[in-house]
Chain A
Amino acid sequence: MSGKFLITAWMLVSATCPVLAADVQQLASRLAEYDKPAKEAEVGYKTSANIVGASPVLADQAVNNYLTLVGKTLVKNSGGDSYRWTFAAIDSPDINAFAAPGGYVFVTKGLLKALGSEDEVAAVLAHEISHVRLKHYVKVAKKQVLAEYAMKSLNEGQADGQLEAMSKAATLILAKGLDKQSEYEADFQAMRILAQSGYDPSALVDVLSTLEARSSDKGMAFLLSTHPSAAERIQSIGGCCVDAYQQYATRNQGTRARFDKAIKTRL
């Protein structure tokens, strides 16, 4: 929990209602539990149920299996972590991808169809893995839940109430988007994961160039409303890592055939 935010919330509450201030602090310490991977995963499970409730998981398990192989290779080769990862495609023509706390990553069929190589699939997954590892959604959800409670709209007495509130907040944040800084941060982290894993970090720029070229597609509206423009993201990558990462910018030719088989000719 951000100290600055906590102090602001406390000041706000204590100014209007001195009794509530202590409760807010109590809730803040209880919400700190959601920093643990197992608790994050509880939020992520419910958030994912909303994602796949809105648009179903792709029935083609060969595609989901391929995404899992690429995704788990990224996780493993970049040092591993304590999340149990799930990677799946969702059956939507839109161009988008989602991460939910605790290790859930979903990519739309529309985005997969726009990609040209396994390195590009890895780039999309690495961006989403980074959101999870950086706890972006959990951090903002905690702030939201605390703010809601300060407004007395949350029954904090029940543990279920907190999980429900955290999942609802995480879903709303997915719908509304994180701040720009978090997106740049996920891009930079993704570059490193790609380089560590043996993939080509410059593939992320190619994905963004594709998004830029297609930014007037109807299926891009959601992604564009929740992310900085592709041009801004490309520019920030230019500033962060191009010179240091040039040495890793080599496309993997050995993955061409299996990408074509799993994605290109299948979707």
Chain B
Amino acid sequence: MLGVSCSFAFAETAKTIKAADLLKEPSATATKVLSVPSGAQLTVSEKKGFWVKATSGNQTGWLKLSEIELQVTKAKIDPMATGRSGSGNIVNTAGARGLSPDELKSAKPNPGAVDSAVKVSSSVTDADLSSFASAGGIASRSNVPPTSLSKNAKSSSTSSVTVSSSSVKSGSGRKNDEW
């Protein structure tokens, strides 16, 4: 697949939203590298699950996603790399089909393929699930607290994440009530 990658770089920074400790490892029990106050500016270099590796000054350590506000700045896109302008620069995936919104809207329905997929999934029994779970060591957990829509999510396009972009428009600017 002739994908396009790295046509723009992420310069990701973050700001602490509370006083936090940078830890040596992504683990609550790891040694503290440095304490930073609320509002400290950090440079993010890596993410791992709920942990973010960040640098403050010349000290690097891990802190929790809940302790920071991410600030993403997309550098300017190289039009040559995206295949969006100029002739001869169109990037394609040879032999493999993409799936665009227009292709979805104008698709010729294929109910037979749905029937086949339903058949495969229907053949998986409860006994299959039990052996699959035990073979993989997957055990259900009880009393998991519910998650609720956080204040962050409700206003995240404007306040909790700063995404600035010079020339890419994503669908994220849509208003909730467009429908």
> Which A residues lie at the B interface, using CB under 8 A?
45-46, 48-57, 61, 64-65, 68-69, 71-73, 76-78, 84-88, 90-94, 96, 104, 108, 110, 118, 140, 143-144, 171-177, 179-181, 184-185, 188-189, 191-192, 195-200, 202-203, 205-206, 209, 212-214, 216-219, 221-222, 224-229, 231-232, 234-246, 248-249, 252-255, 258
Contact = CB atoms under 8 A, between A and B. Distances in A.
Which DSSP category, helix, strand, loop or mixed, fits chain A's interface? Answer: helix
Given A108-B99, A235-B156, A64 B117 contact: yes
A51 B107 contact: yes
B140 interface: yes
Given A140-B179, A236-B160, A252-B137, A242 B66 contact: yes
A143 B140 contact: no
A234 B65 CA distance: 8
Of residues A172, A235, A243, which shows the largest number of chain B Cβ atoms within 10 Å of its Cβ? A235
B54 interface: no
A143 B151 contact: no
Contacts of B105: 171-172, 175
A240 B137 contact: no
Nearest to B116: A57
A90 B132 CA distance: 23
A145 to B, nearest CB: 12
Instruction: Please indicate which of the listed interface residues A64, A96, A216, A224 has the most CB atoms of chain B within 10 Å of its own CB.
Output: A216
Contact of A185 (B1, B103, B149): B149
B141 to A, nearest CB: 6
